[in-house]
Amino acid sequence: MVDDVESAAALVEQDGIPGGRHSARESGAGKGAWLATLGMTPADLTGKIIVVAGYKGGIGKTLLAYELAYLLGAVLIDLDWDRGNASRAWGYREENRIGSPLMDALGRGRVPRPLAGGPWRPDLVPCSAEFGIDQPPHEQLTEALETWAAAWGEEYRCPVVVDTHPGAQSSTYAAVAAAHGIVVPTVLGEREMEATEGLVSELKSYRIILIPNKVGISPPERYIKWLSRISATSFVPVGPSVSNYSWLPTRQRRMAICASNPVSARARPLVEELHRVGEKVVRYVAA
């Protein structure tokens, strides 16, 4: 991976950790190292494309994409052009840059060079506001994602995770068409379940896995039954759940939560849940 040379030094300083922009993998540590617990490495998922999607915002899609990309040692492609996206959480500031790696690659028909996340963040192809108003045709974006995944598979021996914009966007359909697996965070609430049911209904022929997210201590039985009905009627599996954590919305650190070493007592239950989700996703995609 290569750096965005223009501001690499500034980002290292902001990270507050020496070598925070060096993307070389560390033996037994860093992004992708968790796969060893499954007897795997990122190379075992080479070329695989995992898309995280949802028809409603606020369901925890970006956090899940960010953590999955870290756990799998994947390149994270951000297709969410709003400011609360993975790119901004990573530390990328579009307003301080000249040009957009994503738009440049799409416009020139070339493979982008991901920004290096170091051992604590996934490597990233950041999104830009321009992508929201100037998206390529559906087929072109699908072909580009497949081409990039194949090229990075040869060079970096790793999979790809794509975070999408909330809603039924053209770019989401393009990403889904390229996906080997689609992860759908599912919040057990009225509007969220309506959105999930709509997504599953539209994408029945695709390899979807539902991940109950932001689950409270005692979720209403109505939504549990609703989720079970969606799964049974659409033949879509439901993966391990992720609980609701009140401290997450105010977290400011850029490093992946699963990169913490040692893991704090507060974060440990979440990290364990994310590991279970990661294992389910890996088994599902690799099958």
In angstroms, the CA 184 to CA 16 distance is: 33
pLDDT, mean of residues 52-62: 95
Mean pLDDT of the chain: 89
pLDDT tens string 218-256 = 999 999 999 999 999 999 999 999 999 999 999 999 999
* Contact by Cβ (8 Å): 29, 37: no
Residue 37, SS3 per DSSP: helix
pLDDT tens-digit map of 152-189: 999 999 999 999 999 888 999 999 999 999 999 999 99
Per-residue model confidence (pLDDT) at position 83: 86
Q: Which domains does the chain have, with CATH numbers?
A: 48-286 (3.40.50.300)
Q: At how many degrees (to 10) do helices 101-108 and 138-156 cross?
A: 110
Closest-CA residue to 287 (of 183, 185, 207): 207
Per-residue model confidence (pLDDT) at position 167: 87
Q: What is the pLDDT of residue 6?
A: 37
CA distance 102 to 81: 11
Q: Rounded to whole angstroms, what are the CA distances from 47 to 105, 201, 225, 241, 273?
A: 18, 27, 36, 27, 25
**Residue range 272-280: average pLDDT?**
98
Beta-strand runs (E) in the chain: 49-52, 75-79, 123-125, 160-164, 181-187, 208-213
- pLDDT confidence band for 8 (50 / 70 / 90): very low
pLDDT of residue 12: 35
Q: What number is the average pLDDT over the span 199-208?
A: 93
pLDDT in tens, 66-125: 999 999 999 999 999 998 899 999 999 888 888 899 999 999 999 999 999 999 999 999
Q: What is the layout of strands, in order, in the sheet containing 123-125?
A: 123-125, 75-79, 160-164, 49-52, 181-187, 208-213
For the whole model, what pTM was predicted?
0.90
Percent of residues, the chain, with pLDDT higher than 90: 82
Is the pLDDT at 18 greater than 80, yes or no? no
pLDDT of residue 59: 95
Tell me the C-alpha distance between 207 and 203, whole Å: 9
* Phi, psi dihedral angles at 120 (to 5 degrees): -110, -10
Percent share of the chain, pLDDT over 70: 90
Residue 31: the pLDDT is 94
The pLDDT assigned to 20 comes to: 35
For residue 47, pLDDT over 50 is answered with: yes
Name the pLDDT band for 28 (thresholds 50, 70, 90). Answer: low
